[in-house]
Structure 1
Amino acid sequence: MKTLGLIGGTSWHSTIEYYREINTQVSKEIGSASNPELLLYSINIDIMRKQVLNDIQQKYLEVSQKLIKAGAEAILICANTPHMAADFVQPKINVPILHIADATAEEAKKMGYKKLGLLGNKPTMTKAFLKDRIAEKHDLQVCIPDEKEVQQSHYFVSKELTQGKFTQEAKDFYVKQIIAFKNRGVDAVILGCTELPILLKDVQTELPVLSTTDLHIQMATNFIMNT
């Protein structure tokens, strides 16, 4: 098995999901008596709230280098938004970053989806690091909500979900956004926040959803098992 370096902490709630599910998925392959060797560095989420891109990029480079020095053969960023640092970090390290956008886009293409809705916080929905990578590298169409809904989604993610608060109000909001995407002819919806699958885990949605967390975890598992 290959050794994977995990960068977590943004938030630690989603990091727990990554750690648990990577171990669970690998155990299905090798048996419950064994588990993969993982290196985990948990960053203080405050660096993301300040939203200073250069600071974020430098921090993720520094942490990636530490994990590689400790033996990581690839880097996995355990959240969507911090992937804004991936294009800066990747040329400066000698191991791959397993990118969450690639994991999501490959599944969309496998399922035959062409037009995708994207939900998450404001940077994830509006900046290039996720939606443009999916659209340009993988030739898929990506739609986001209107500005008012973008702001409301950002509030729920930054003020509630990343702090472990999962309210009925937030759940109702995202259900309505998925219905709105359906009315726009969207094929499936990307849950582009690692806490969104937790919030909506028991909800029957109007459109298929692509959980970036689950797909990223499967990519990690495949890397560890060299498959």
Structure 2
Amino acid sequence: MQTIGLIGGMSWESSAVYYQGLNTGVEERLGGLASAKSVMASVNFAEVTALQEQERWDDVAEILAGAARGVESAGADFLMLCTTTFHRVAEQVEAAVDIPLLHLADVVAQACTEQRLSSVAFLGTTFAMSRSFFTDRIAGHGLEVLVPDERHHEMINRVIYDELVHGKVLDTSRRAIVELIEELWDAGAGGVILGCTELELLVHQADSELPVFPATQLHVSAALDRALA
């Protein structure tokens, strides 16, 4: 079994989902007392978020690259960023280490293409939806990527940062997100990517008639495939 390197803390709720998913996944696949071999460096979410808001991406990259070097030194065989938004500096982080990075966008794009979709909606933080660093990488796999209209961005961000990051899962917010998914379906989306770990705490396949692609669950599954190969 390979050792999985995790850069977490963005948010800690997201990191907990990754850690739990990796360990329950190994137990399901191997049985008995098996658990995942992993190393995690958890950064201060407040610090990197403040730098993000100031567009100080070189400073963000330096922090995450330092975390990556730490997990590499601790014996990780490959690396995962437990976040979507901070994949903005994924290439800089990968360049700082000698182990490969399992890029989240590649994982979710592969899952969509395996279901023969040509278009998919993407939900995430305002930053991830309004910038192209993540959606362009998905589109590079031959997919059309639809994002919600800007008038919806504030609502999604509020649900993520004011509720889900703090462990609050509200039915009213679930209904609002599901209504938005239905709008994107009408606009031509053949599926929807939940591109933020916290959104997976709120919306599940049972809530939508569209195929739902939970990015974190897919990322964890791909990591298990690699670690156990």
How does the TM-score come out when normalised to structure 2? 0.93
Contact 1:11 1:163 in 2 (8 A): no
Secondary structure at 2:122 match in 1: strand
- 5+ residue gaps, structure 1, are none
Q: 1:157 to 1:130 in 2, by over 3 A?
A: same
Q: 1:128 to 1:32 in 2, by over 3 A?
A: farther
Secondary structure at 2:210 match in 1: coil
Contact 2:2 2:228 in 1 (8 A): yes
What is the rounded CA distance, in whole Å, between the counterparts of 2:195 and 2:205 in structure 1? Answer: 17
Match of 2:82 in 1: 78
What is the rounded CA distance, in whole Å, between the counterparts of 1:169 and 1:215 in structure 2? Answer: 26
What is the rounded CA distance, in whole Å, between the counterparts of 2:5 and 2:158 in structure 1? Answer: 30
CA positional deviation for 1:159: 2.1
Between stretches 198-207 and 60-69, larger displacement belongs to: 198-207
Are 1:180 and 2:183 counterparts? yes
List structure 1 segments (4+ residues) > 6 angstroms apart after TM superposition: none
Letter in 2 for 1:14: S
Match of 1:150 in 2: 153
Q: CA-to-partner distance for each residue in 1:76-121, whole Å, 9 max, x for gaps?
A: 1112112112011112221111111111000000001110101111
Between stretches 41-50 and 211-220, larger displacement belongs to: 41-50
CA positional deviation for 1:169: 2.5
Are 1:64 and 2:68 counterparts? yes
CA positional deviation for 1:168: 2.2
Match of 1:43 in 2: 43
Q: 1:212 to 1:28 in 2, by over 3 A?
A: same
Between stretches 33-42 and 185-194, larger displacement belongs to: 33-42
Match of 1:6 in 2: 6
Q: 1:163 to 1:49 in 2, by over 3 A?
A: farther
Are 1:224 and 2:227 counterparts? yes
What is the rounded CA distance, in whole Å, between the counterparts of 1:8 and 1:149 in structure 2? Answer: 27
Secondary structure at 1:79 match in 2: coil
Contact 1:121 1:155 in 2 (8 A): no
CA positional deviation for 1:200: 1.4
Q: 1:28 to 1:148 in 2, by over 3 A?
A: same
- 5+ residue gaps, structure 2, are none
The residue correspondences of 1:1-227 to structure 2 (distance < 5 A) are: 1-50=1-50, 51=52, 52-136=56-140, 138-201=141-204, 203-226=206-229
- Aligned sequence identity (%): 32
Secondary structure at 2:6 match in 1: strand
Q: CA-to-partner distance for each residue in 1:43-73, whole Å, 9 max, x for gaps?
A: 1111342113222111110000011011111
